[in-house]
């Protein structure tokens, strides 16, 4: 494995200097265990860049892959809808026709897919990523899925002799563009250490949480809280308006108090205008609520607030709001979506 990106050094983005967790990002390339990527191992002197694969170029995958390319990584992309690869190819990415071809060609491959079904399909389906994996390679699934799905993928990946890391991200479209994601990782520690420099290009911090499933669980708990917060915020905005207050002033008041949250300040003004430019699609938020409720069910943890919020996201979906931002959940509380009294 040729993970010696010394040529990247002059192109390190500024945010590395602010990163509280990582130190110099490419340092770990030089302390790689020879076993980490044994099939293609090269000596430190070879200084050839690693080949990095990226599968899934949606709202998140595209800017993440773009940041890798801009940092000087040798990136190879694949996406189900081919045209989404074109801007990245223009920036210098290689293109392969299937996930299998990407993993055959690359030392380490990231996958950013919509949901459990697509993550399994791309990893384990026909011409799937697992077919191109072998000892010495790594597969990092950064999609938001449940722990059971992640374990299924991890088991098949490891059966090829490759290493597996689940690494869902917290942070939306803008943090992805700015390389400010938070990685919630679990699985093979050796792979975590090897890909840390790539995570540091795409993110501002990273957590290693142990066994496969823990990264997925952390992500689902965080998004369960986020989904409930957004539903509650929506109720507040509409109630304030109905009692004659200016909801824009509510956004301002909230921003100055203990319940202030960047999410409210960022999305509040457009919600007041009833516009929902998509950063995090509502269908994905509902998927995360559903998976979080399943996680809670598996350990008999009551989550009545999240369960109620999930119903609201389901109503929003049924009214055609799936591809709008998840803040469009507020629309489901408006009279035309409510059953008559
Ligand atoms: N957007 C956000 O703010 C955040 C999203 N996430 C999570 O990241 C993941 C991706 O989100 P995001 O980029 O927003 O989603 P998008 O819907 O924009 O992209 C989804 C990607 O999955 C691909 N895909 C979907 N179904 C299949 C399939 N059956 N086979 C192959 N590929 C498929 C799509 O391909 P195609 O282009 O062909 O449709 C696309 O590349 C989700 O799990 C989401 O929950 C996590 C943090 C933040
Ligand atoms: O998963 C969504 C996010 O904003 O994080």
What spacing in Å lies between the alpha carbon of 261 and ligand 2's midpoint?
Answer: 14
Quick one: which atom of ligand 1 is closest to the CA of 143?
43
Q: Looking at residues 162-180, what average pLDDT do you find?
A: 98
% of the chain beyond a pLDDT of 90: 84
Residue with tokens 């509280």: 20
Can you give the pTM of this predicted structure?
0.89
Whether residue 1 has pLDDT greater than 60: no
Which listed CATH number (3.60.20.10, 3.20.20.80, 1.10.150.650, 3.40.50.720) goes with 6-211?
3.40.50.720
Rounded-to-integer distance, Cα 48 and Cα 31, Å: 15
Residue 24 pLDDT > 70, yes or no? no
Ligand nearest to the CA of 98: 1
Residue 204, SS3 per DSSP: strand
Report CA(168)–ligand 2 centroid distance (Å): 9
Catalytic site residues? Answer: 219
If you average pLDDT over residues 69-77, what whole number do you get? 97
Give the span between the Cα atoms of 226 and 136, in whole angstroms: 38
pLDDT band at 206 (very low <50, low <70, confident <90, very high): very high
- pLDDT value at 208 more than 50: yes
pLDDT, the chain, mean = 88
Model pLDDT, residue 39? 35
- What spacing in Å lies between the alpha carbon of 12 and ligand 2's midpoint? 25
Indicate the length of the chain as a whole number: 341
Phi, psi at residue 93, to the nearest 5°?
A: -70, 150
pLDDT digits (tens, 9 = 90+) for 217-227: 999 999 999 99
Mutate to test the pocket of ligand 2, among 226, 262, 290, 313 (most ligand atoms within 8 A of CB): 226
Q: Does domain 217-337 have CATH number 1.10.1040.10?
A: yes
- How far apart CA 16 and CA 8 sit, in angstroms, is 13
Predicted confidence at residue 213, as pLDDT, reads 98
Looking at residue 336, its pLDDT comes to 76
For the beta carbon of residue 94, count every other beta carbon within 10 angstroms. 17
The answer to whether 296 and 302 have CB atoms below 8 angstroms apart is: yes
Nearest-5° Cα angle at 151, 150 to 155: 120
Domain boundaries, the chain: 6-211, 217-337
In this predicted structure, what is the pLDDT of residue 311?
Answer: 98
Ligand 1, atom 26: nearest CA belongs to which residue?
A: 118
């Amino acid at each position: 494995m040729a993970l010696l990106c010394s040529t990247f050094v002059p192109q390190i983005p500024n945010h590395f200097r602010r990163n509280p967790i990582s130190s110099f990002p490419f340092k770990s390339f030089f302390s790689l265990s020879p076993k980490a990527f044994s099939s293609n191992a090269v000596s430190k002197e070879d200084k050839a860049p690693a080949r990095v694969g990226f599968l899934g170029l949606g709202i998140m995958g595209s800017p993440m892959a773009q940041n890798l390319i801009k940092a000087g990584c040798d990136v190879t992309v694949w996406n189900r809808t081919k045209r989404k690869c074109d801007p990245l190819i223009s920036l210098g990415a290689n293109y392969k026709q299937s996930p299998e071809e990407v993993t055959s060609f690359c030392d380490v491959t990231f996958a950013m897919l919509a949901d459990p079904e697509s993550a399994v399909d791309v990893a384990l389906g026909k011409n799937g990523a697992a077919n191109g994996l072998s000892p010495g390679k790594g597969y990092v699934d950064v999609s938001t899925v449940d722990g059971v799905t992640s374990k299924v993928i991890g088991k098949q990946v490891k059966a090829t002799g490759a290493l597996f890391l689940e690494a869902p991200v917290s942070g939306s479209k803008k943090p992805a563009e700015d390389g400010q994601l938070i990685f919630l990782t679990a699985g093979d520690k050796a792979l975590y250490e090897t890909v840390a420099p790539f995570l540091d290009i795409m993110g501002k911090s990273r957590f290693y949480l142990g066994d496969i499933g823990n990264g997925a669980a952390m992500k689902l708990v965080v998004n369960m809280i986020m989904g409930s917060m957004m539903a509650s915020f929506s109720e507040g905005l509409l109630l304030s308006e109905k009692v004659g207050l200016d909801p824009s002033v509510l956004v301002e008041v909230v921003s100055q108090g203990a319940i202030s949250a960047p999410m409210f300040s960022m999305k509040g003004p457009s919600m007041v205008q009833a516009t929902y430019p998509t950063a995090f699609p509502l269908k994905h938020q509902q998927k995360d609520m559903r998976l979080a409720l399943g996680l809670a069910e598996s350990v008999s943890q009551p989550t009545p607030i999240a369960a109620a919020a999930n119903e609201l996201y389901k109503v929003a979906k049924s009214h055609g709001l799936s591809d709008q931002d998840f803040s469009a959940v507020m629309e489901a509380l408006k009279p035309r979506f409510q059953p008559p009294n």
